[in-house]
A and B are shown apart, each in its own frame.
Chain A
Amino acid sequence: MIDHILTLLIFFPALAAMLGFVVTKDSMRAYGIAVAFIEFVLSLWLWYAYDPMISGMQFMESMPLIPAFGINYLLGVDGISLFIIILSTFFTLIGIASLTETRRLKDLIITLLFLEMTMVGVFAALDAIVFYVFWELSLVPMLYIIGAWGGPLRIYASIKFFLYTFTGSLVMLVGMLFMAYFYYQATGQWSFSILEWYRLILPENFQLWLFAAFFLGFAIKVPMFPFHTWLPYAHGQAPTIGSVILAAILLKMGTYAFVRFSLPLFPDASVFFMFPIAIIAIIMIIYTAMVAYAQEDIKQVVAYSSVSHMGVIILGTFALNVEGVSGSVFLMLAHGVVSGALFLLVGVIYDRRHTKMMSEFGGLASVMPRYATIFGIMMMASVGLPLTINFVGEFLCLLGFYKQSHMLTLTAGVAIIVGAIYMLSAYKKMFFGAVTNEKNKNLKDLNRTEYLGLIPLVIVAIWLGVYPKPVLEPINNSVESVIQLMHDKAQSPEAKARIPDLSGKNEIIPMQEAH
């Protein structure tokens, strides 16, 4: 069974979702939690069985789909994808467990389980076409979640979300086809396997074009400035569960794909585009932090803060050294946990007051002290306080990029200032001051269901902040092999210089022999 655990992880939720149609409405919630829990346990088993010392792919499965074009059902995990898969199953569990939605609960849970399938599929796929299929499929459940359970502008928001990301992905698909074609030209065989692609050294000008094609698809998903405007709408209109999954997992697809595709496939192009992308990332960080500061709606603050943090992740990714890339992968997890928790927290107050405007609140700390405490912890994690999960990632990202550029890192570091500004001012508006609004006087503090969702997140946020090693170590090993691969493949002297050579450092098992 362990040999096919990835297939199991992908299709178990889908199968369970199909069966979900025959489950009665009343027991649907319990059913959903049970399925998500089993899935989560399976993913933990994956972690348990995973050998952190091996940097390459593990639990690989392969089955030909269209042999003539080298399209295979190819799965595998390494340290980079392992934890994002666990994060996906974890958040699906948390999301379903803390679900407060009452409208068409059954449909919602079925949609969520399908979404879980696509998420795990994206992170486990090692074949570009399989990856692409899951990547696109993930849009559909999200479209339903926003479009069916969202706010008043839900149709606009969901269509914008769908078309925007879809457009980007199409360009990416063209890039993938070209990549496969180049592979065919070079070797005389068709292949869509990423691992096979890794072995291909492309001329630099090809790399630049392909990088750009992939970049568009990923950048919209991340979303990078100036492609970010779908996100506030999507978050603003999505129900709590939609925002949580969107922020925690779906955005990570973009940054994950950067690490999985762009870096190892196009090392020279990565170096070439390093500074332009870093500048975009810095604009993202500072600009969206400012926009977040100006928001009146607490959910929008969190939404824009997501964009800002994604900027740091991008920066870390394009540091192109082990510290930076490990940091960015770690920050993906960290941001998933923290922003997911923040969206859950916003959902809590929205359930009670049916508004998200900060001006409606004030003084909540005295009415809902426990809520305020957990919100405070998560806010501080988001701000990047040491010993919380975010700090580890942010520190490593900035540290890594500092190797490449002093000035840009200094500018990007403003993140820790502007991040504090919008978060603290939002917190002040919501929780501090006297209770002025009559409607807030008798709000109930957190209930059992909400604790169920939030407490694990708090624990994870602090645990991985204090002791990130169990996660950081496998990530580090896999990232090292990616960096080494990039160094070996790099052609231009600048790229050789920018990407560190680790071969002399320690024994690593290369992911694939280059050349």
Chain B
Amino acid sequence: MELYLYIALFAPLVGSLYASLFGGSPKSQHVGIVASGLLFTSFVSSALLLSYVMGGHTVHVELMTWMETGDLYIPFGFVVDQVSVVMMMVVTIVSTVVHIYSIGYMDHDKGFNRFFSWLSAFVFSMMVLVMSDNFAGLFIGWEGVGLCSWGLIGFWYQKESATWAANEAFIMNRIADLGMLIGIFLIYWNTGSLQYDVVFSEIGNLPLVVTTWIGIFLFIGAMGKSAQFPLHTWLADAMEGPTPVSALIHAATMVTAGVYLVVRANPIYDLIPNVGIFIASLGAFVALFAASMALVNRDMKRIIAYSTLSQLGYMFVAAGLGAYWVALFHLMAHAFFKALLFLGAGNVMHAMHDELDPFKMGGLRKVMKGTFIMMTLASVALAGIYPFAGFFSKDLILEVGFVEHHYVIYTVLLLTAGLTAFYSFRLVALIFHGEERYKLFGIHPHEAYKFMLVAMSPLLLLAIIAGSFKMTYYQLVTSLLPDTQYHVHGEMTYWIMTIGTQLFVIAAIVFAYKKYSNWNSVPDGSSKLENSFGYKLLSNQYYIPKFYEEVFSKPYLELSRIAWKQFDLKIVDATVDSIANAIYKTGENTRDIQNGNLSTMLRWMVIGLVVLVSLALAFTVGYNAVGA
């Protein structure tokens, strides 16, 4: 089994290195095929590992030592257990699909080979992240996915906005990484190790305050990667990257790393329910907050990104409330349908020549039947309609909230579920229904390559049927995660809740269809709605990016300039120079003593004599005084 582990882990790396060999050369089809093939290998290995793990075993290997000094010992250790194998499956499935899809999507791009190099490197980092058996290894993957995310968001580096977004994402993640690093330090100095098993067995013996701080700092790390408020702005901007990247990194895998961390560190969070409540509350807030921004946005990818953000909020609610397996389940289901949604959006983008405003589309279902079906189904899954995947996972989270008596969180999530349904179908309605507004812009849309649609189909399938794995999954992961069943008291309440939620969601869908499926004009910013305060607030993302720009970015640059020009050059350096100048000037001024005039010299000699003799006198007198 160790062999499969290594294959699953290193196949993407090999793919990445292979692709990077051709990084500078023009497009070569074989690069995409080889990279995809290797990922498929990785997927197969993961599947084999899954079947092995389902048999109740785990695989734990130690590749080699990484760092060893003092008491610190960090190996490259990998573990395939019930949790990581689920993540491995999710990562390899989605990334295989995305790789194959990208062969078509990046068909005409100059950076085809480079793209695959980055993408496979990302998968490798993600695998390291999920498979590592210690926090340092997790951090390697953590930073690795950050790097690849940077490279892929800024993939089209000629675009100013893309590189800006890439840097923003990297730097914001770094802020969170600092938190994570501090968390790791705390763990090390309190438990003496970074291995999961050691840490988790020791953690119960620590004072509660230490555990609390560990939990908080680790969660700060998770907040960055999973784009939780207030570090959320990078995710929407990250949509500058190619769409497959958005599907893989910014929907299915990397952004869920934060959730994975919390799930993985569940023994820690179990001890500190207060932090858990905070996580859940923040998650609920982000769910609603992100959904509200998605309501009015006019950028197809951003809408989906906000929806991702919102769903991450759901996951954190579950994780915060201790329902780790539920969080992981939603993570999995979400990965499938959200990736599908993004890939569909990618098809639309291609068809529309990179036009992102859904108001400029409309009626595309006639030309893009496959994509239409897929995106609709994905949206249905996202909205959480029975029997799609979203229903099982999302409904469960609502139940968790309800059962744990956090009714405010429950209400917020319920409301968000409605909003989710609304904006998802607003998008679908605007893109695929109504008048063919794109004709105004002289675009001739066409369906994507067949094989791209075929590549997407596994995701479609999973988005539909993932819910049926629930019990198998449950049995699998609860051997590692806390086994808590969430049953609403009373069958009656349960049915009322479930059906009520379904009806609410369906109502939202119907409303969205009604409002947008017959849309016939492109809004130009003059309508009453668009000028209302609420609309502006939402479409400007609550002015938070602007706030960051004005309060952090610009003052930081300004402060840096001042630090350099005013402080470093004019104070620190000038002080040094003035000391040198003072010595130089003294030399210039005292040069007159050496004017060669004997008379002056004699005079100076006498002055010197006086000074010396008086010093001698003073010291003698002083010495005698002391001596006496």
Q: Which A residues lie at the B interface, using CB under 8 A?
A: 160, 163-164, 225-226, 228-230, 287, 290-291, 293-295, 321-323, 326-327, 363, 365-366, 369-370, 373, 380, 385-387, 391-392, 395-396, 398-400, 402-403, 406, 409-410, 413-414, 416-417, 420-421, 424-425, 428, 431-434, 466-469, 472-473, 475-476, 479-480, 505
> Which residue from B67, B189, B559, B580 sits with its C-beta under 8 Å from A392?
B67
Q: Is the CB of B69 within 8 A of A476?
A: yes
> Per-position contact with A for B150-172: 1 when CB-CB < 8 Å, else 0?
10001001101001100100110
Task: List chain A residues, Cβ under 8 A from B163.
Answer: 428, 432-433
B70 lies within 8 A of A290 (CB) = no
Cβ-defined contact, A410 with B182, below 8 A:
yes
Bound state CA distance, A189 and B181, in angstroms?
A: 50
Q: B563–A326 contact, CB under 8 A?
A: no
Which residue among B69, B143, B150, B164 has the maximum number of chain A CB atoms within 10 Å of its CB?
B69
Contact A399 B188 (CB under 8 A): yes
* CB <8 Å contact, A425 and B188: no
Cross-chain contact A290 with B556 (CB below 8 angstroms): yes
Which residues of B126-149 are within 8 A (CB) of A? 136, 139-140, 143-144, 147
Contact between chains at A416 and B24 (CB < 8 Å): no
Q: Which of B67, B174, B181, B189 contacts A468, CB < 8 Å?
A: B67
Quick check: is B178 within 8 A (CB to CB) of the other chain? yes
Q: List 21 A-B contacts (CB under 8 A).
A: A160-B580, A164-B576, A228-B572, A294-B560, A366-B157, A373-B23, A385-B147, A386-B136, A395-B181, A399-B72, A402-B186, A406-B182, A416-B178, A417-B178, A421-B556, A424-B167, A425-B167, A432-B157, A466-B66, A472-B69, A476-B69
Given A163-B580, A369-B24, A433-B157: A402 touches B67 (CB 8 Å cut-off): no
B65 interface residue per 8 A CB criterion: yes
Pick from A226, A386, A469 the residue with the most CB of B within 10 Å.
Answer: A386
Identity of the chain A residue whose Cβ is nearest the Cβ of B571 in the assembled complex: A226
Q: Is the beta-carbon distance between A468 and B66 smaller than 8 angstroms?
A: yes
Which among B65, B70, B143, B182 is the interface contact of A402 at CB below 8 angstroms?
A: B182
- Main secondary structure on B side of the interface with A: helix
User: B198: shortest Cβ distance to chain A, in Å?
Assistant: 16
Contacts of B580 in A (CB 8 A): 160, 163
* A413 cross-chain contacts in B, Cβ below 8 A: 178, 181-182
Contact across chains for B561 and A294 when beta carbons are under 8 A apart: yes
Q: Known contacts A323-B69, A385-B147, A420-B171; is A294 also within 8 Å of B563 by CB?
A: yes
In whole angstroms, what is the CA distance A475 to B175 when docked?
A: 31
A residues within 8 A CB of B170? Answer: 420, 424
Please state if B69 and A287 are interface contacts (CB–CB under 8 Å): no
Interface size for B (C-beta < 8 A) is 52
Contact with A along B64-93 (1 / 0, CB 8 A): 111111111000000000000000000000
Contact A396 B175 (CB under 8 A): no
Q: Is B565 an interface residue (CB 8 A)?
A: yes
**B491 part of interface (Cβ distance < 8 Å):** no
- B557 within 8 Å of A by Cβ? yes
Instruction: Report the number of A-B residue pairs with Cβ-Cβ less than 8 Å.
Output: 147
Quick check: A417 and B72 within 8 Å, CB to CB? no
Q: Are B158 and A322 in contact (CB under 8 A)?
A: no
Picked from B24, B185, B561, B565, the residue with its CB within 8 Å of the CB of A398 is B185
Asked if B573 CB lies within 8 Å of chain A CBs, one says yes
Nearest Cβ distance between residue B171 and chain A, in whole angstroms?
A: 5
A291 partner, pick from B64, B174, B181, B560, beta carbons under 8 A: B560
Q: Which of B70, B154, B185 has the most CB of A within 10 A?
A: B70
Closest to B573 in A: A229
B residues in contact with A433, CB < 8 Å: 157-158, 160, 163
Partner of B140, one of A373, A387, A434, A476: A387
Q: Which residues of A contact B158 (CB under 8 A)?
A: 363, 366, 432-434
Rounded to whole Å, the gap between the CB of A484 and the closest CB of chain B is: 12
Q: Nearest 7 CB-CB pairs, A to B?
A: A322-B70, A294-B560, A229-B573, A402-B185, A432-B163, A386-B140, A294-B564
* Residues from chain B with Cβ under 8 Å of A406 in the complex: 182
The docked-state distance in angstroms from the alpha carbon of A425 to that of B170 is 11
Residues of A within 8 A of B154 (CB): 432
Q: How far is the CA of A409 from the CA of B65 in the complex (A)?
A: 26
| Chain A neighbourhood of B24, CB < 8 A | 369-370
Which residues from chain B contact A294 at a C-beta distance below 8 Å? 557, 560-561, 563-565
Chain B 541-575 interface mask (CB, 8 Å, partner A; 1/0): 00000000000000011011101110010001101
In angstroms, Cα B124 to Cα A81, docked, is 36
Does chain A have a CB within 8 A of B177? yes
Task: Tell whether, in the assembled complex, residue B568 and residue A424 are in contact, meaning their CB atoms are under 8 Å apart.
Answer: no
Question: How many angstroms from the CA of A433 to the CA of B565 in the assembled complex?
Answer: 27
Interface residue ranges, B against A (CB under 8 Å):
23-24, 64-72, 136, 139-140, 143-144, 147, 150, 154, 157-158, 160, 163-164, 167, 170-171, 174-175, 177-178, 181-182, 184-186, 188-189, 556-557, 559-561, 563-565, 568, 572-573, 575-576, 580
Q: Are B557 and A293 in contact (CB under 8 A)?
A: yes
Chain A's nearest CB lies how many Å from the CB of B268?
A: 18
Q: Is the CB of B175 within 8 A of A417?
A: yes
For residue B171, which residues in chain A have a CB less than 8 angstroms away from its CB? 417, 420-421, 424
Beta-carbon contact of A323 and B178 below 8 Å: no
Residues of B within 8 A of A363 (CB): 157-158
- Give complex CA distance A466, B66 in Å: 7
Q: How far is the CA of A104 from the CA of B576 in the complex (A)?
A: 33
Chain B residues contacting A366 (CB-CB under 8 Å) are: 157-158
- Docked Cα-Cα span, A322 to B68, in Å, equals 11
User: Within the assembled complex, what's the spacing in Å between the Cα atoms of A287 and B563?
Assistant: 7
- Asked if A293 and B175 make an inter-chain contact with CB atoms under 8 angstroms apart, the answer reads no
The complex places the Cα of A508 from the Cα of B499 at a distance, in Å, of 71
- Chain B residue with the shortest CB-CB distance to A396: B69
Please give, as numbers and ranges, the residues of chain B lying within 8 Å of A380 by CB-CB distance: 147
* CB <8 Å contact, A290 and B72: no
Q: Which residue of B lies closest to A435 (CB)?
A: B158
Are B69 and A291 within 8 A (Cβ)?
A: no
Say whether B185 contacts A387, CB under 8 Å.
no
Other A-B contacts than A386-B136, A387-B144, A406-B182, 7 sampled, CB-CB below 8 A, are A160-B580, A326-B70, A386-B143, A410-B182, A416-B174, A432-B154, A432-B163
* Cross-interface CB contact of B67 among A398, A424, A472, cutoff 8 Å: A472
Minimum C-beta distance from A150 to chain B (A): 18
Task: Give A385 to B144 CA distance when docked, in angstroms.
Answer: 8
CA of A28 to CA of B271, assembled, Å: 69
Choose from A396, A398, A410, A466 the contact partner of B72 (Cβ within 8 Å): A396
Given contacts A291-B563, A323-B69, A473-B68, contact A399 B23 (CB under 8 A): no
Q: Which residues of A contact B167 (CB under 8 A)?
A: 424-425, 428
Distance A466 CA – B160 CA, assembled complex (angstroms): 33
Contact A402–B140 (Cβ < 8 Å): no
Distance in angstroms between the alpha carbons of A396 and B171 in the assembled complex: 22
B618 CB to closest chain A CB (Å) equals 26
Q: Report how far A65 CA is from B328 CA in the complex, Å.
A: 72
Q: How far is the CA of A424 from the CA of B169 in the complex (A)?
A: 11
Name the residue on A nearest B167 (C-beta).
Answer: A424
Question: What chain A residues lie within 8 Å of B69 (beta carbons)?
Answer: 322-323, 326-327, 396, 472, 475-476, 479
Instruction: Report the Cα distance A395→B68, complex, angstroms.
Output: 12
On whether the beta carbons of A480 and B70 are closer than 8 Å, the reply is yes
| Chain A residues in 8 Å Cβ range of B175 | 417
A380 to B163, CA, bound (A): 16
Are B66's CB and A398's CB within 8 A? no
Q: Find chain B residues with CB under 8 A from A476 CB.
A: 68-70
Question: What are the residues of chain A within 8 A of B139 when measuring CB–CB?
Answer: 386
**Cβ of B420 to closest chain A Cβ, rounded Å:** 33
Query: Complex Cα distance A466/B560, Å?
Result: 34
Residues of chain B contacted by A326 (CB below 8 angstroms): 69-70
Supposing A295-B564, A386-B144 touch, asked if A395 and B556 sit within 8 A by C-beta, the answer is: no
CB-nearest residue of chain B to A429: B163
Taking CB as reference atom, which chain B residue is nearest A324? B70
Query: Considering the chains assembled together, what is the distance between the CA atoms of A432 and B160 in angstroms?
Result: 8
Question: Which residue of A is nearest B189, CB measured?
Answer: A403
Instruction: Please pick, from A226, A395, A417, A473, the residue contacting B572 in the complex, using a CB distance under 8 A.
Output: A226
